[in-house]
Structure 1
């Protein structure tokens, strides 16, 4: 497209065109100064330096066969000072290209068609850039790569993942649902290169996949690809359901290494069941209700006199520890599981005593110590099952009867 720029510098209006007055170069910017792989972004920095005043201009781009491409932002015009001290006009354009397959390629010249003032005469001049040699490397590592079906090939400078739920999945019960939205961003890619929606499946939940939205954000340093994945999740069982993390491999184009991004593990249910009554607003009681409660309390006091104290509450792990154990179990992290369990084993003797008396829990604790500390024979460790068992209340400890005989000499009894 032609553009009227009318960039006239002082002292150049009547100058004649000389050798080197109009130059155009194309410089490929390779990630890590290495040959790119297929579908990896390469930036082409196109720069023109012109001593003559420019009246009109048009960039004619080559076909770029074997490459996909996108222009990053608008062309820029500025003034620049040359080594000899003279002031010239600078033209800059950035194009991102993505090779389709390996090989040695020659990028044909870009052409800048300029209308200049040559000694007071308008003249059209074509300024070509030198051809550019670009090699695209073959993937030689045993795993991954552009041609592998699994995992998805994701070459990028940076990959970020955000994970949001509404409402919090730990508060959801049977018959209710929560919406999960995961946003994946990759710097140095276009949206079409992002992977399809990950598979989120585990025992005890129903998932309903929502639409996938993709967009490409153009920045001066390259495109940013963004994909948003959505699910509606509903628990089907009345248990704490661990949801495993989802790993997304990607190729770091800066360090030239394979890396992993992770959609974090979560748990469904088991969040606030023991506090939901506390969360309800307190309503004032009527006088009749107060009187009835007083009579009931009087009768309950008589019952205590006649029949003894009520049943003692059943010990149970606090909610924060139950949640931490479920998350460590979902992540398969035995060391973190043992670290969060240690305070309960040491600080709540009633729980520790009841767990050791339960054969299934005792076997699970032995397998846990074997996995973490290498104690005893190696046995199968099922962290999710152990977390569920430890989260349950244990039988209340039996009340010890006082031994009055030892105090007889002190209280005057015989």
Structure 2
């Protein structure tokens, strides 16, 4: 009876049942103490499995947690045959530095071997794992300050209710800070930070911790809570709180920050400043409108007679300046032609200015060969043309010297 109950070894070809354990090191580097290492356990079995049981070694120098359930699937082998694949992921956290041997995992399988149920133990090869010593001058797993926080990613969320800037003496606000670290369990997160400054009273609330299991590793979450009450009627600055952590991907020390805030000072000090603006009386509005209308009539009807001023638009002024800077008389004249035809007020004003009229004559003489003339100073002409001018009164049939520039015979 004793031998009948003992596990029997089936006559199975080597390689039919294999179990491997592969450590996944962050950054392909030796981990430090309390840094997560993933053990990927994989079995590949050619024979049908009736029952199974994984016997895990003690892992005496590690803390560990299994990530999710075991998975079974079909896989195709290099020789084309289809086999059964078994996968399990375990996260381990070494307690201290040193060289360690992870003893074999054992997969106890019940198989059907030619119609006979047989129990077969499939061990994995032992795995050597080195845990490195911290050699940098600051931080590290053994330092008392700051807290050792090795993680793939650290995020902080900060919320207040109500907004701290609106709180006055005798009132309180609640601050809740949530710290999340990817690649850690909740027990590895730091204790509640100290939040203390002059002029406020703080009442620390409970700390809640939880570990969220994901296929890529655990996510540790801690929630810290304070009730804050100002004790003085002044604006109280609350400094930022720095939380150092070790980035296990880039293998560098980094910092996360609980942001700085301000207590008080966000609302007006006097109640009348916070009151909404009272709308003006309709009678006042109508009276003001009539007064403005009357003033406008007085300025138009009885004011000193003025003459309107005309000016080239900004785009045309800029185009003339650019053409003058480039010495391009053709572009200068082409840009000016539509203005002379479409803005009679400007054309009359320029005709009345001897300097501008002479410059335009010289420009046309240069372009169209009207005798031997000196080329105009385009920069000076552009400056004169860009000035606002008083619109000259129409002169009837007087065409003047710029008639040809208007495009009329």
The normalised TM-score by structure 2 is: 0.64
Q: Distance in 1 between matches of 2:275 and 2:40?
A: 63
Among 59, 67, 75, the alignment partner of 1:72 is: 67
- The secondary structure found in structure 2 opposite 1:232 is strand
Q: Is the 8 A contact 2:33 2:93 kept in 1?
A: yes
Pairing of 1:239-318 with structure 2 (within 5 A): 239-273=234-268, 277=272
Corresponding position: 1:212 with 2:207: yes
Gaps of 5+ in 2: 1-9, 282-409
Distance 1:55 1:223 in 2: 32
What does the per-residue CA deviation read over 1:224-267, in whole Å, with 9 as the maximum and x for residues that have no partner?
00000000000111111110000000000000000000000000
Aligned to 1:111: 106
Structure 1 residue 178 and structure 2 residue 173: aligned?
A: yes
Q: Partner of 2:198: helix, strand, or coil?
A: coil
How many angstroms apart in 2 are the aligned matches of 1:276 and 1:245?
Answer: 32
- 1:5-54 residue CA offsets vs partner (Å, 9 max, x unmatched): xxxxxxxxxx9732101000000000000000000000000000000000
Provide the residue aligned with 2:157 in structure 1: 162
Q: Is the 8 A contact 1:152 1:195 kept in 2?
A: yes
1:97 alignment partner in structure 2: 92
Q: What is the aligned partner in structure 2 of residue 39 from structure 1?
A: 34
CA deviation vs aligned residue, 1:303-338 (integer Å, no higher than 9, x gap): xxxxxxxxxxxxxxxxxxxxxxxxxxxxxxxxxxxx
C-alpha distance 21-164 of structure 1, shift in aligned 2 (>3 A) = same
Q: Report the CA distance shift for 1:79/1:276 in structure 2 as closer, same or farther (over 3 A).
A: farther
Q: Hey, what's the Cα distance between the residues in 2 that align with 1:31 and 1:216?
A: 20
For the pair 1:51 / 2:46, whether they are aligned, the reply is: yes
Name the CA shift for 1:259/1:276 in 2 (closer, same or farther; >3 Å).
Answer: farther
SS of 1:170's equivalent in the other structure is helix
What is the count of residue pairs matched by the alignment? 272
1:99/1:276 CA distance change after superposition, 3 Å: farther
Map of 2:225 onto structure 1: 230
Residue pair 2:102, 2:129 contacting (<8 A) in 1 also: yes
Is the alpha carbon distance of 1:279 and 1:87 closer, same or farther for their aligned partners in structure 2, counting shifts above 3 Å? farther
Query: Is the Cα contact below 8 Å between 2:268 and 2:274 reproduced in 1?
Result: no
Structure of higher CA gyration radius = 2
Matches within 5 A, 1:76-91: 76-91=71-86
Separation in structure 2 between the aligned mates of residue 89 and residue 95 of structure 1, nearest angstrom:
20
Q: CA RMSD in A?
A: 2.0
SS of aligned partner of 1:37: coil
C-alpha distance in structure 2 between counterparts of 1:255 and 1:117, whole Å: 49
**Gapped runs of 5+ residues in structure 1?**
1-14, 285-289, 291-414
Alpha-carbon distance between aligned partners in 1 of 2:272 and 2:264, rounded to the nearest angstrom:
16
How many angstroms apart in 2 are the aligned matches of 1:266 and 1:137? 39
Change beyond 3 A, Cα 1:16–1:81: farther
How far residue 272 of structure 1 moved from its aligned partner, in angstroms, is 1.6
In structure 2, the residue matched to 1:137 is 132
1:280 CA displacement: 5.6
How high is the TM-score relative to the length of structure 1? 0.64
Separation of aligned partners in 2, 1:66 and 1:128: 20
Pairing 1:302-381 to 2, within 5 Å after superposition: none
